[in-house]
Amino acid sequence: MAGPRLTVVLGDITRQDVDALVNAANSSLQGGGGVDGAIHRAAGPELARAGRDIAPCRTGDAKATGAYRLDPPVRHVIHTVGPVWHGGGDGEREALASCYRRCLEVADGLGARSLAVPAVSTGVYGFPAAEAARIAVDTLRSTPTSVTDVRLVAFDQPAYDVLSDAVS
Ligand code: ADP
């Protein structure tokens, strides 16, 4: 199975035309800051209610909900909990790779073929962006999946540059 096609885009993840959005969530699945807050605002309060029913989600794992008020064609939100960066000696790299692997597994279970993915853990959680981008790209390329398209969504130009380097 060939890996999914990876495309880097600059913009807001809630505006992507894909089957499923990946959310950089926290274990409560109740919403938070950053990309998590943006996805919850766009999806409406039903998203936190759905999250509560399936929480908690462990670091490195992923769980799906519906997409509620997000614009079609988005039908699912795949919530993954990235590691908090503690200097790299605490299994952070393995946990981040696990996030991307589990997102593809969950997407396969849903029949989703296209995903938009944020730079998990690189905001408040402090994972160094260039290394996180390499882990994201390596894991997405090496995990067997039926997902054909992954959009790596950068929220600013530095994130776009780092992700573009990682895919090239
Ligand atoms: P974490 O807690 O996993 O570090 P953050 O949400 O703080 O998650 O940051 C993860 C990445 O998502 C950062 O690169 C941040 O700039 C980016 N981000 C924030 N809002 C959005 C958005 N609306 N669309 C895409 N990416 C976003």
**Under CATH, which number does the domain 5-167 receive?**
3.40.220.10
Verify whether residue 36 is a known catalytic residue.
Answer: yes
Rounded to two decimals, the pTM is 0.98
Main-chain dihedrals φ then ψ at residue 27, nearest 5 degrees: -60, -20
Q: Give residue-wise pLDDT tens across range 41-100.
A: 999 999 999 999 999 999 999 999 999 999 999 999 999 999 999 999 999 999 999 999
Q: Give residue-wise pLDDT tens across range 100-149.
A: 999 999 999 999 999 999 999 999 999 999 999 999 999 999 999 999 99
Q: Locate the domains of the chain by residue range.
A: 5-167
Ligand 1 centroid to residue 159 C-alpha, Å: 10
Active-site option among 17, 36, 149, 165: 36
Pocket residue to mutate for ligand 1, from 84, 155, 156, most atoms within 8 A of Cβ: 155
DSSP H/E element including 6: strand 5-10
Ligand 1 centroid to residue 163 C-alpha, Å: 13
Q: Does the beta carbon of 35 sit less than 6 angstroms from any atom of ligand 1?
A: yes
Residue keyed to tokens 């699945």: 29
User: Does residue 35 come out as left (phi exceeding 0), alpha (psi in the -120 to 50 range) or beta?
Assistant: alpha
